[in-house]
Amino acid sequence: MKQVSLFIPCAVDALLGDVGADTVKLLSSLGFELIYHEEQTCCGQPAISAGHIDLARDIAKRFIEIFENDEVIVSPSGSCVNTVKNDYVRLLKDEPDWHQRALKLKERVFEVSEFLVDQASIENVNASYNGKVAYHKSCHLFRALGIDDQPLKLLSNVKGAELLPLNAAEQCCGFGGQFALKYPLISEAMVRQKTQNFLQSGADILIVSDPGCLLNIGGYLLRNHPHLKAQHIVSFLAQNLEGGVSA
| Cα dihedral 18, 23, 24, 28 sign | positive
Q: What's the rounded Cα separation, in Å, for the pair 4 and 70?
A: 8
Phi, psi of 108 (to 5 degrees): -120, 10
What pLDDT is stored for residue 247 in this prediction?
A: 37
For 3-118, CATH number? 3.40.50
Cβ atoms of residues 220 and 188 within 8 Å: yes
In residues, how long is the chain?
A: 247
- At residue 2, the pLDDT reads 87
Please tell me the predicted confidence (pLDDT) of residue 244: 56
Nearest alpha-carbon partner for 12 in 69, 74, 68, 102: 74
**pLDDT on residue 1:** 57
Which of the listed CATH numbers 3.30.2130.30, 3.40.50.11810, 2.60.40.1760, 3.30.70.330 matches domain 123-238? Answer: 3.40.50.11810
Return per-residue pLDDT of the chain as tens, 247 residues: 589 999 999 989 988 999 999 999 999 999 999 999 999 989 999 899 889 999 999 999 999 999 999 999 999 999 999 999 999 999 999 999 999 999 999 999 999 999 999 999 999 999 999 999 999 998 888 888 999 999 999 999 999 999 999 998 888 887 777 776 777 788 888 889 999 999 999 999 999 999 999 999 999 999 999 989 999 999 999 999 987 543 3
CATH 3.40.50.11810 occupies which residues in the chain? 123-238
